[in-house]
């Protein structure tokens, strides 16, 4: 048989190991998948939908009220008031950081990108970061950093529920909530380091009313 009559053999294949494929998944893909997984639960229960809308709508005012009413409570009122002032500063600083971020990042809402189903009225604000997550996690972190663990734990539970609700109702990506939580926690840490208990300004503020 001449060389021309020979049939070219296929290249050898590896046995026992599948051919490698491009399995790289971007962070955006993971973000979208997580967002859809949570938002995809909508519609299964009208009661749960209503609860999530309710949590999202009134959570921040309720948590602020829960913080404010403690101004006149507790045996160690001076320390408690210091923590409350630090919490308020963390809250405001976190939201201020968000406004700075919005000067550079303009992310569309997931419902505008066809990612989520919206249960409430649309927002004109950019999606990243979540102000709700910033506000609630700033409160929780401030209490935990100041060793008020019991209250801090319940505020943390509330913050997590708020974050989930924002994704559930379709107004945020998961990463928006994580970013908001990060700015809130960062603000609380910064305030904890800079605003010291017992300073002149602290004694003045905590003596009011």
Q: Give residues with Cβ within 8 angstroms of 203, minimum separation 6.
A: none
Kindly name the residue from 82, 132, 146, 192 that is annotated as catalytic.
132
pTM confidence score? 0.84
198-205 contacts: CB < 8 A, separation 24 or more? 202/82, 202/85, 205/81, 205/85
Is 132 considered catalytic here? yes
pLDDT of residue 201: 86
Q: Is the pLDDT of residue 12 over 80?
A: no
pLDDT recorded at residue 25: 75
Band (21; pLDDT cuts 50, 70, 90): very low
66: alpha, beta or left? (left if phi > 0; alpha if psi -120 to 50): alpha
Quote the distance between the C-alpha of residue 52 and its chain's center: 15
Please confirm, yes or no, whether 192 is among the known catalytic residues.
Answer: no
Residue 109: CB atoms within 10 A of its CB come to: 21
DSSP one-letter string for the chain: --GGGSPPPPPP--SSSPPP------HHHHHHHHHHHHHTTTTS-HHHHHHHHHHHHHHHHHHHHHHHGGGG-SSSHHHHHHHHHHHHHHHHHHHHHHHHHTTT--PPPTTTTTSS--SS---SS-SSS-HHHHHHHHHHHHHHHTT-HHHHHHHHHHHHHHHHHHHHTTS--HHHHHHHHHHHHHHHHHHHHHS-TTSHHHHHHHT--
- The pLDDT value recorded for residue 200 is 87
pLDDT in tens, 83-119: 999 999 999 999 999 999 999 999 999 999 999 999 9
Locus of tokens 């909508």: 42
Span 6-26, mean pLDDT? 48
**CATH class of residue range 26-206:** mainly alpha
Range scoring the smallest mean pLDDT among 22-31, 50-59, 82-91: 22-31
Residue 20 pLDDT class (50, 70, 90 cuts): very low
Taking the domains of the chain in order of start, what are their residue ranges? 26-206
pLDDT digits (tens, 9 = 90+) for 128-181: 999 999 999 999 999 999 989 999 999 999 999 999 999 999 999 999 999 999
The pLDDT of residue 209 is 61
Tell me, what's the pLDDT at 22?
46
Question: Which of the residues 82, 146, 172, 192 is marked catalytic?
Answer: 172
Length of the chain: 209
pLDDT in the model for residue 8: 43
Computed over every residue of the chain, the mean pLDDT equals 88
């Amino acid at each position: 048989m001449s060389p021309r009559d020979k049939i070219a053999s296929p290249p050898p294949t590896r046995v026992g190991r599948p051919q490698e494929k491009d399995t790289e998944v971007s962070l955006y893909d993971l973000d979208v998948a997580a967002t859809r997984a949570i938002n995809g639960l909508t519609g299964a229960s009208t009661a749960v939908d209503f609860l999530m809308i309710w949590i999202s709508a009134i959570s921040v005012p309720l948590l602020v009220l829960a913080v404010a009413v403690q101004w006149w409570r507790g045996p160690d009122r001076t320390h408690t008031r210091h923590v409350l002032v630090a919490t308020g500063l963390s809250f405001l600083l976190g939201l201020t950081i968000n406004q700075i971020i919005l000067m550079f990042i303009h992310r569309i809402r997931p419902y505008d990108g066809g990612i989520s189903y919206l249960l409430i009225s649309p927002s004109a604000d950019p999606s990243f970061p979540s102000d709700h997550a910033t506000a609630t996690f700033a409160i929780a972190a401030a209490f935990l950093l100041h060793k008020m663990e019991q209250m801090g734990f319940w505020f943390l539970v509330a913050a997590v529920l708020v974050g989930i609700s924002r994704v559930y109702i379709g107004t945020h990506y998961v990463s928006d909530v994580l970013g908001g939580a990060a700015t809130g926690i960062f603000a609380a840490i910064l305030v904890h380091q800079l605003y010291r208990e017992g300073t002149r300004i602290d004694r003045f503020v905590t003596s009011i009313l």
